[in-house]
Chains A and B, each alone.
Chain A
Amino acid sequence: MSLLELDGVKVHFPVKKGVLFDRTVGHVYAVDGVSLSVEAGQTYGLVGESGCGKTTLGRAILRLVDITEGDVVLDGTNLAELPGEEMRGMRRRLQMVFQDPLGSLDPRQNIESILSEGMAAHGIGADREERRTRIREILAKVGLPTGALSRYPHEFSGGQRQRIGIARALVLEPDVIICDEPVSALDVSIQAQVINLLEELQEQMGLTYVVIAHDLAVVRHISDVIGVMYLGGLVEEGPSDTLYAEPLHPYTKALMSAVPIPDPAVEDTRERILLTGDLPSPSKPPTGCRFHTRCPWKQDTLCATERPELKDAGNGHKVACHYAAEIAAGTVRQTVPGAVRPPEAETAPAEVPAPAKPADDGRTADPGGRAGRAAEPGKTAEPGGTAGTGGTGGKSAESAESAETAQGGGTAGTGTTPEAGGTPEAGDAVQADEAADADEATDAGEAPKTGEAPKTGEAAETVEAAEAAESAVTKD
């Protein structure tokens, strides 16, 4: 039994019109049937773009918005049915950390008052002195000086304010903390501090987190299980490693290929899936699969008519797509030309046919399966087929430049340490074992894909590459 379970949760907001009599003219389907479960001591990450309903879902768990339908079960108690007073009591066990650290702290209350208010409401600590001792402990845990107690929110920096927000949640000793975009308002160097703090606290206090964020890299870093939301529903869910190594849903693939990676070598050679258009309005969601209006792999049957269920695809990896298996196997072809852009070959010297390496750096769940698939003739020429490994494209340009061992390190380095990724140009020493690993990886990767390599190398222009891909698709 999981600590927190959601079953078919729907949150619909009525759209009203009229001055005297509010007529309901429609609904915004913010959350439309989400089921998930969060294990104790784990972190569940919810990702999606703005408007996908992830924040509403987070608020629905705490019943800060009314749940239209469905159950939220915390430790055996169904929160959706609790009367107001009892729900207030339950909120001690469910706390939230908000996105905007300044907006969520009362500017006229000092820190002690902010932190003790919740304790007083829930009857924690007999008197002021006891509460103060407890607050001091928590402040030390989140890395704030005790002197902070008598100060006001505006006197703190963004990162410190977020620490106060976290402390406010912690003083109530909750079981589950829902973090809604905990770091998106912070600068990069401060983000890392807060992420590390959340991780330390989880380790020390055995907390369970539901982390809601749009930054996939952040979510991947801290989550054990990730759910990807699109227009009110989960489209894919799985353990963080498998989900990122091998995304199954076209939306997840596109989302991941769109995340910029701070490494030019990776950026130049990765494959991109560009989605056309914007998110449809959640008040008029598309029929069938919500994503079919933007999906590069949309098929004529099923997609527009039937809403896919979240089905297990093995290893706890669930996906809501009618054709996920076919797309992964490469038997279904792209229907939107040009949506999947093969790696650009601008910097690749045309004369060197560099072997493009399938992204396999050891974290793939079944490397054999992938390498095998990549080896299928005709499939390698189709950029869509090898899709989905947005972060880990083959590095033809790089490997072409040098054949040193260090280069091998660079090639596999997409997934290893930043230093390894950066070494080829600096030419400095790569750890011997790393280099060895890299070599193995390269060997494993090269063999099946050599046929494809010249194509990528020669196509100097993206357009040409796309055309080549198109013709290959047609032949296929």
Chain B
Amino acid sequence: MTQPLLSVDELTVTFTGRGRRDVQAVSGVSFSVDQGQVVGLVGESGCGKSVTSLALMGLLPDRGVRVGGRAEYDGTDLFGLSPSRRRALRGSQLAMIFQDPLSSLNPVVPIGVQVTEILARHRGMKGEAARKEAASLLDRVGIPDPRRRLKEYPHQLSGGMRQRALIAMAVACAPRLLIADEPTTALDVTIQAQILELLKELVDQEGTALLMITHDLGVVAGLCDEVNVLYAGKVVESAGRRDLFAAPTHPYTHGLLNSIPRLDAPRGEPLHPIRGSINDNIAWADGCAFAPRCDFYTLECLAGTPGLSEPRAAGHQVRCVNPVLPGSAGATGGTTGGTAGLEKTEATS
């Protein structure tokens, strides 16, 4: 594969409002997705991961939002397309699975109609043929008795079922790129396992590329080939999953992994939370946004936006001037005093 299926270059999304300060939700995110690859975007709430996906799908409102940077899908510039060309692409070649299956399905329209709608729009199927195809789609995503389910409304389906129906709609036109925004967050673990298994199957069998957006590092560990960790609208670490989990190099990734209790770790070990909250950051222009919460913080962190470097291995990119390298894991920067002063210079809301 010479050219990636989707390449995103310095994507920025700014929300503007009259009389209000502009809010930059995504401030320069770059990554690429190859055919048949699963790429993860991981981060906590407010890091810009969902906005990234909405921008790629063209689902952000026209007014009050500025989208910058480039996103190329299979050689075409997504942001340069006319709205009608974009619509033709969306749903057929690019498809999305949303977090909350109940609110992304129309409550007053039966499942069957919602699935056949896509088939009619993109594949020109009608009547019995479309219904048959819809039934086979539901069957494929593991919904038992699909004929009956087609006539049912979203509220009659359980959470896992609804998410399956949503996946069926997303894969209806055999898309080449599937964007899944927290597809399992609203589900129980046993149902989550079923859905993840289904997504894995789709990727393996169809060669669909999957952009997986999640806050759950466990989900990423089991599913993604490449992982991008986002913090405050920028990718702070990007690596193959084995590299990332074996050697988390950005202090944020490192901190995240240390702050989750693991089912297979010995009990009684205290957790090491990241201090402060996601609001305690500074603008990227002034330095590293994570600096106020960082244990490895030094004054160099405030010398402008840190660039991506590869301190550990090729392909393992880190945006940090003081990366966590082997041996330095225990050493915490003794600059707590400096951090306290720094918090007063908070620039973002």
Contact = CB atoms under 8 A, between A and B. Distances in A.
A187 B215 contact: yes
Nearest to A410: B246
A109 to B, nearest CB: 23
B267 A241 contact: yes
A414 B329 CA distance: 20
Interface stretch (B13-21, B80-88, B256-264, B331-339): B256-264
B244 to A, nearest CB: 8
A146 interface: no
Contacts of A424: 246
Contacts of A279: 158, 188
A240 B263 CA distance: 11
A391 B264 contact: yes
A256 interface: yes
Contacts of B194: 274-275
Contacts of B343: none
Interface residues of B, number: 58
A416 B257 CA distance: 14
B326 A278 contact: no
B271 A195 contact: yes
B221 interface: yes
B242 A264 contact: yes
Interface size class, chain A: 35 or more
Most chain-B Cβ atoms within 10 A of its Cβ — which of A191, A264, A272, A422? A264
Given A188-B44, A196-B271, A422-B245, A258 B193 contact: yes
Nearest to B255: A189
Contacts, number: 176
A429 B158 CA distance: 49
Contacts of A423: 246
A188 B259 contact: yes
Contacts of B248: 422
A261 interface: yes
Contacts of B193: 257-258, 272, 274-275
Given A49-B190, A259-B189, A262-B220, A416 B266 contact: yes
Given A261-B262, A261-B264, A264-B241, A187 B278 contact: yes
Contacts of A214: 188-189
A432 to B, nearest CB: 15
Contact of B266 (A158, A266, A415): A415
Given A192-B271, A260-B222, A266 B264 contact: yes
B124 interface: no
Contacts of B45: 187
B247 interface: yes
A137 interface: no
Contact of B215 (A188, A254, A259, A391): A188
Interface in B6-41: none
B161 to A, nearest CB: 7
Interface in B168-210: 188-194, 196-197
Contacts of A428: 326-327
A278 B272 contact: no
Contacts of B216: 260
Contacts of A261: 218, 221-222, 262-264
A312 to B, nearest CB: 22
B324 to A, nearest CB: 11
Nearest to A223: B267
27 contacts: A157-B278, A187-B44, A188-B215, A188-B256, A189-B256, A189-B273, A191-B260, A191-B273, A192-B271, A214-B189, A217-B260, A221-B261, A258-B192, A258-B193, A260-B192, A261-B264, A263-B262, A264-B242, A264-B246, A278-B159, A361-B266, A418-B258, A418-B262, A418-B265, A422-B245, A426-B246, A429-B326
Interface of B: 44-45, 144, 158-161, 188-194, 196-197, 215-222, 241-243, 245-248, 255-267, 269-275, 277-279, 312, 326-327, 329
Q: Which 4 A-B pairs have the closest CB atoms?
A: A260-B218, A192-B273, A192-B259, A221-B261
